[in-house]
Structure 1
């Protein structure tokens, strides 16, 4: 956080307390509500402002340490006032997605829900969100002009609702990255990936002969082979991300000086180039070469993927 921003935090707190007739040095009146109002403009500008930055600056300038809990509560209250609280946002999600479809004709939203239970009894007329897939109309149309290749990955969300965001990207002729599909799911399970890939195939990636690049997650493998051909040759080719493979190799063997050689194997464009790089790795240890053998050449070495990458 820049110095000027930290200075603004303190100035905002001080000016707000003075405006309300509160002596800044009267620490007992500097509660989380007061701090929340003071930092509200800053939170609106930068919701990711660090709690520790506010604490440190107040301590250094006024020799008073506001507790982490008080600042944390103040920040949450400010965020709720500016952006709405977690529950309101969660309840608004179906409405927001329905408006997206109405205002952006051609956009796609698929929601799966589950029954809500009170103990062992199902609550009548009540549902909970299980998964949601969406793709904006601009993304659907943009993919028609991209290379016949998609890359999929997932990332964990760590706030109140701990789910997983799945994303699919494509690339245009100028090598610009184009996001084309999204999903919020319960985790990187086989069912979740099946839900994502099925909807993406149905609504976005309709052309045949497309390549899909991912990591080697077992759940993706199960989902790919569950489709009965939608993500398999000749309709599609499943390939592995070389960056993920190099990371997996480093995790397995703890030999960073060989990681680049594994990358070179993956990017070998001819059989001769592959043989040279593979031999170099094998000379440094047969276990390294056997590990690469288990991946399957077609899935990650350019010389053997028939040009689909």
Structure 2
């Protein structure tokens, strides 16, 4: 139930099979149809019910599945299931509609955890190896972005966390210095109240401050451009010890 996968020996669902959440039910159904090269149409999607039929229902195959929330058990349960697919698939498309970026993101989790800079082409190859489908570059790229956001948060959250991180840093080293400059936000020439955006930030650690008198009277400045959603540059100032 916790994994959300069909547990029968042949990989089929069964009536009264239980799942921990609505998301796990849908994920299991997606994985089931992807592995069999078939697709389904959702007929009822509510907070307490998920009801789907084979896309070609009635044309030689009457596959359908219905799952509902059982509040007494605090789980989702398969309430109706017509059994195995009886249809025959003449051709398997290169991609699958239900093989979306969410499914891919979960599948590539170990790869991205091991190497955050993994190339999209490697993700496409992994998906082909696991699911026997060749997904588009965009779908693979979106899957990677979703996983990164899940682990590290999105760009907006990261920037909002920056002042908190700097406050924690100065709490540990009280005589360190931080300077933040923000800008007013305007919408159609009117100032948006209560909203500021980062313009620039400067911080210096206290050990560097006290050590500076022992350095050569020369500083080196190096920088790197930021290539994320928000552009900018990260500058580093370095001084050399006199010895």
Report the counterpart of residue 133 of structure 1 in structure 2: 202
Q: Deviations over 1:195-243 (max 9, x none)?
A: xxxxxxxxxxxxxxxxxxxxxxxxxxxxxxxxxxxxxxxxxxxxxxxxx
Q: Higher helix proportion, which one? A: 1
Q: Could you tell me how far 1:154 is from its partner in structure 2?
A: 2.5
Q: Deviations over 1:240-287 (max 9, x none)?
A: xxxxxxxxxxxxxxxxxxxxxxxxxxxxxxxxxxxxxxxxxxxxxxxx
Relative to structure 1, is the Cα distance of residues 19 and 58 closer, same or farther in structure 2, using a 3 angstrom cutoff? closer
Q: Which of residues 98, 110, 113 is equivalent to 1:41?
A: 110
Asked if 1:107 corresponds to 2:172, the answer is: no
Asked if 1:80 corresponds to 2:172, the answer is: no
Q: Deviations over 1:163-203 (max 9, x none)?
A: 111211123367xxxxxxxxxxxxxxxxxxxxxxxxxxxxx
Asked if 1:159 corresponds to 2:228, the answer is: yes
Report the counterpart of residue 64 of structure 1 in structure 2: 133
Query: Is the 1:152–1:166 Cα contact (8 Å) retained in structure 2?
Result: yes
Q: Could you tell me how far 1:100 is from its partner in structure 2?
A: 1.4
Relative to structure 1, is the Cα distance of residues 78 and 57 closer, same or farther in structure 2, using a 3 angstrom cutoff? closer
Query: Is the 2:216–2:241 Cα contact (8 Å) retained in structure 1?
Result: yes
Report the counterpart of residue 54 of structure 1 in structure 2: 123
The structure with higher relative contact order (CA 8 Å, sep 6+) is 2
Query: Is the 2:108–2:123 Cα contact (8 Å) retained in structure 1?
Result: no
Task: Mark the runs of 5 or more structure 2 residues left unpaired by the alignment.
Answer: 1-26, 38-95
Relative to structure 1, is the Cα distance of residues 99 and 63 closer, same or farther in structure 2, using a 3 angstrom cutoff? same
Q: Distance in 2 between matches of 1:59 and 1:20?
A: 14
Report the counterpart of residue 209 of structure 1 in structure 2: none
1:151-300 equivalences under 5 Å are: 151-172=220-241
Q: Could you tell me how far 1:64 is from its partner in structure 2?
A: 3.0
**TM-score relative to the length of structure 1:** 0.45
Kindly report the root-mean-square deviation, in angstroms, between the aligned alpha carbons of the 2 structures: 2.9
Query: Is the 2:221–2:235 Cα contact (8 Å) retained in structure 1?
Result: yes
- Aligned pair count reads 159
Q: Which of residues 176, 180, 188 is equivalent to 1:119?
A: 188
Q: Could you tell me how far 1:136 is from its partner in structure 2?
A: 2.2
Q: Distance in 1 between matches of 2:234 and 2:158?
A: 17
